[in-house]
């Protein structure tokens, strides 16, 4: 009897409808991941025009280093740091260590609570004051938990001392920041509810674990920064085109090695066996693990237009590749996805840029082709080209480099069509012919790299112009005025 193929067995084709562990390991493109990327980019720009300040861009800034710079070494370090934080027993901590953890955690939370109290508490009474006090209390628990340890037995002494100190600091910060009357009023309102601790504890513990995981990811990625840079192109492709929302997230990559409590699947399997209070706690953790991971992925997918030139630029140097790898790279440019993108870009960008001269050519175009003149006018209104300046010049420079790249690629393809079409064609060349092929391929690679550099600069210029348009004071604080005027 024939055995049905496993769901985790990668198909023979190079793409799948949705990702599995096997398809991710094989690097197969997921159709669902591609659709997610397109939807995320559209959602990103819709939100950008909908809200005055794109707060979600900050999520992307946090997510990019964690997702794009991960390496085998940083993942292993993150797992080890998570294990030490999770499994450290109270007996491993001396009194001085407990005191240091408690003081640091408490002072940090005290300062944060003081800031939140000044911003949120003044001028509020009743329920408005109550929920703001709850939030400050939850933050106190979260930071104490993140700073001390996980679980009931993992550094419990440090967590208890840190929590008491931090929460007391939060209350004192509330009094100091908002005034004695408001601060004591908040304490009185909170003290009226015996279930206050229960209400804030479960969500705050989840938030504390996320804070700790965020710190671990950043530290591990920066610790192995150069290893991560080498992996950036692969990570970029995997995050955008390979992994989709059906992939079960974890608190950290490979966090399941520490405990199945750090994975959505592990928590889901535990739910039916637990008592009601634990079911509530695990349900909160499932949401806490899944939604941030999904937001990280989507924020990176949404900023694909900004990161893809950098991912391409960090591919291994052309001169360091062997002959077959060099052939494969120029084949992609000459007859693969690059060639199609170049033709599409040149076909669309040149007419679009010429629209900035539309008033000058209106009299010429309208009698010859009225429909084209009307369409050009509509396109000019919907997507006006940038004014003469840095962005306009960079776009024209990209068009010029793209045209040169297309021309050199066409000549290379005409001379070495058989070689570019199959690895066997390269193997059949003599050593002298292989050297001539490499010499002919170098201009294509150099133009590709120059085009990538220009696209990176263009992406940064577009981002700066967008921030300046949406939030001028912030842009003027970060960037020199002359540069903003030149955009």
Q: Domain limits of the chain?
A: 32-71+224-310, 84-210, 317-486
Token duo for residue 160 = 């208890």
pLDDT digits (tens, 9 = 90+) for 231-278: 877 888 888 888 888 887 776 777 777 777 777 777 777 777 777 766
pLDDT digits (tens, 9 = 90+) for 52-88: 555 556 556 556 666 777 888 888 888 888 787 776 5
What pLDDT score does 399 carry? Answer: 87
Rounded-to-integer distance, Cα 200 and Cα 140, Å: 10
What pLDDT score does 39 carry? Answer: 86
According to the per-residue pLDDT averaged within each range, which of 142-146, 150-154, 231-235 is highest? Answer: 231-235
Query: Is 189's pLDDT higher than 60?
Result: no
| CB distance 237 to 30 below 8 Å | no
According to the per-residue pLDDT averaged within each range, which of 13-22, 193-202, 285-294 is highest? Answer: 13-22
Rounded-to-integer distance, Cα 445 and Cα 405, Å: 9
Q: What is the mean pLDDT of residues 331-344?
A: 73
pLDDT band at 372 (very low <50, low <70, confident <90, very high): low
pLDDT band at 41 (very low <50, low <70, confident <90, very high): confident
According to the per-residue pLDDT averaged within each range, which of 127-131, 238-242, 376-380 is highest? Answer: 238-242
Reference 308, options 385, 221, 239; nearest CA is 239
What pLDDT score does 183 carry? Answer: 37
Rounded-to-integer distance, Cα 19 and Cα 31, Å: 9
Q: What is the mean pLDDT of residues 110-131?
A: 60
Name the residue with higher pLDDT: 260 or 121.
260
pLDDT digits (tens, 9 = 90+) for 81-100: 878 777 654 444 555 655 55
Q: What is the mean pLDDT of residues 132-156?
A: 52
Rounded-to-integer distance, Cα 273 and Cα 267, Å: 11
Query: Is 11's pLDDT higher than 70?
Result: no
What pLDDT score does 129 carry? Answer: 58
What pLDDT score does 116 carry? Answer: 60
Name the residue with higher pLDDT: 54 or 203.
203
Rounded-to-integer distance, Cα 262 and Cα 39, Å: 28
pTM of the model: 0.55
């Amino acid at each position: 009897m024939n055995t049905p193929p496993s769901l985790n067995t990668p198909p023979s084709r190079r793409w799948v409808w949705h990702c599995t562990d096997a398809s991710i390991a094989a690097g197969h493109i997921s159709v669902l991941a591609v659709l997610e990327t397109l939807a995320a980019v559209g959602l990103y720009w819709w939100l950008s025009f909908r809200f005055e300040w794109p707060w979600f861009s900050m999520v992307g800034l946090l997510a990019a280093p964690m997702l794009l710079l991960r390496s085998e070494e940083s993942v292993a370090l993150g797992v080890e740091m998570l294990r030490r934080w999770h499994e450290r027993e109270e007996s491993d901590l001396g009194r001085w260590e407990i005191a240091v953890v408690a003081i640091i955690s408490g002072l940090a939370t005290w300062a944060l609570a003081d800031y939140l109290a000044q911003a949120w508490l003044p001028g509020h009474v009743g329920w408005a004051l109550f929920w703001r006090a709850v939030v400050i209390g939850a933050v106190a628990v979260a930071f104490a938990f993140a700073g001390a340890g996980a679980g009931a037995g993992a550094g419990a002494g440090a967590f208890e001392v840190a929590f008491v100190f931090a929460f007391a600091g939060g209350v004192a910060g509330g009094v100091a920041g908002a005034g004695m009357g408001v601060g004591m009023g908040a304490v009185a309102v909170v003290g009226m509810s015996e279930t206050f601790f229960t209400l804030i504890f479960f969500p705050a513990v989840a938030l504390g674990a996320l804070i700790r995981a965020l710190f671990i990811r950043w530290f591990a990625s920066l610790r192995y920064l150069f290893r991560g840079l080498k992996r950036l192109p692969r990570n970029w492709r995997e995050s955008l085109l390979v992994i989709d929302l059906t992939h079960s997230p974890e608190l950290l990559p490979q966090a399941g090695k520490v405990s199945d409590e750090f994975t959505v699947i592990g928590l889901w399997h535990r739910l039916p066996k637990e008592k009601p209070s634990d079911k509530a706690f695990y349900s909160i953790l499932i949401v806490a693990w899944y939604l941030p991971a999904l937001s990280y992925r989507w924020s990176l997918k949404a900023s694909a237009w900004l990161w893809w030139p950098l991912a391409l630029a960090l591919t291994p140097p052309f001169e360091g590749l062997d002959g077959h790898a060099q052939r494969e790279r120029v084949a992609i440019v000459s007859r693969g996805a690059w060639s199609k993108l170049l033709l599409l870009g040149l076909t669309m960008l040149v007419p679009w840029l010429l629209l900035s001269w539309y008033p000058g050519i209106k009299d010429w175009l309208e009698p010859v082709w009225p429909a084209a003149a009307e369409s050009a006018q509509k396109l000019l209104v919907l997507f006006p080209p940038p004014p003469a300046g840095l962005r306009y010049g960079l776009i024209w420079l990209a068009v010029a480099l793209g045209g040169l790249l297309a021309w050199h690629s066409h000549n290379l393809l005409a001379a070495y069509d058989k070689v570019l079409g199959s690895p066997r064609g390269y193997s059949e060349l003599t050593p002298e012919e292989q050297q001539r092929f490499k010499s002919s391929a170098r201009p294509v690679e150099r133009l590709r790299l120059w085009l990538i550099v220009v696209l990176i600069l263009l992406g940064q210029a577009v981002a700066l112009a967008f921030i300046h348009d949406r939030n001028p004071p912030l842009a003027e604080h970060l960037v020199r005025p002359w540069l903003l005027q030149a955009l």
